[in-house]
Amino acid sequence: MLRLHGIVGRADDAELHQRLHALEHAGALERVTMEEADLGRRRIRLTSDKGTDCAISVDRAEDLSEGAVLLLEPGRAIVLRVGVAKAWRLRARDAGAALQLGWHAGNLHWRVRFDGDMLLVLLDGPLAEYRARLAALLDAGLVEDGGDG
């Protein structure tokens, strides 16, 4: 177990980016991937793409996020990747339908994002289970189903 505490930098920082690039060429850059649904955790156990068992923590004031550099040594670095949540894209036919759609999303405690006039539902499970909850609105044509592609 490799114990890692705190974030030492960001992969998109210009200076760090070059060092990480060099380490990657030398085969000394490892990546650990955290599921999007785990965002917010300050302690997590993850295995890197090179098989290193990493026990990761940050202080409560810090966030584990995409590109966080967790280890930076002359001959080795570990960078955090965050998986991207699948999103179900929905567009309401009119204001009345939008009110109903918004009510359902809130009542079901779905995690959502907005993209123009689209409502994006972040999926924590199979799309079919989400579709079943809105079957009446979809069947009535009140909400357009943009899929999760």
Partner 1 sequence: MSAVSTRPAARVGIGGPVGSGKTALVERLIPALMRRGVDLAVITNDLVTAEDAERVRRSGLIDPARVAAVEAGACPHTVIREDPTLNIEAAAALERQFPGVELILLESGGDNLASTFSRDLTDFWMFVIDVAGGDDIPRKRGPGVIRSDLLVVNKVDLAPYVGVDLPRMLAEARAVRGGRPVLTTNCRTGEGVDAIVQQLEREVLFRQ
Note the residues at the interface with partner 1 (CB under 8 A): 1, 3, 5, 37-45, 55, 57-60, 109, 124-125, 129
Q: Looking at beta carbons only, is 28 or 39 nearer to partner 1?
A: 39
Q: Measured from the CB of residue 58, what is the shortest distance to partner 1 in angstroms?
A: 8
Q: Measured from the CB of residue 54, what is the shortest distance to partner 1 in angstroms?
A: 10
How many CB atoms within 10 Å of residue 140?
11
The token duo for 98 is 């939008």
Q: Looking at beta carbons only, is 18 or 65 nearer to partner 1?
A: 65
Q: What is the DSSP string of 97-138?
A: HHHHHHHHHHHTT-EEEEETTEEEEEPSS-HHHHHHHTHHHH
Q: Measured from the CB of residue 64, what is the shortest distance to partner 1 in angstroms?
A: 10
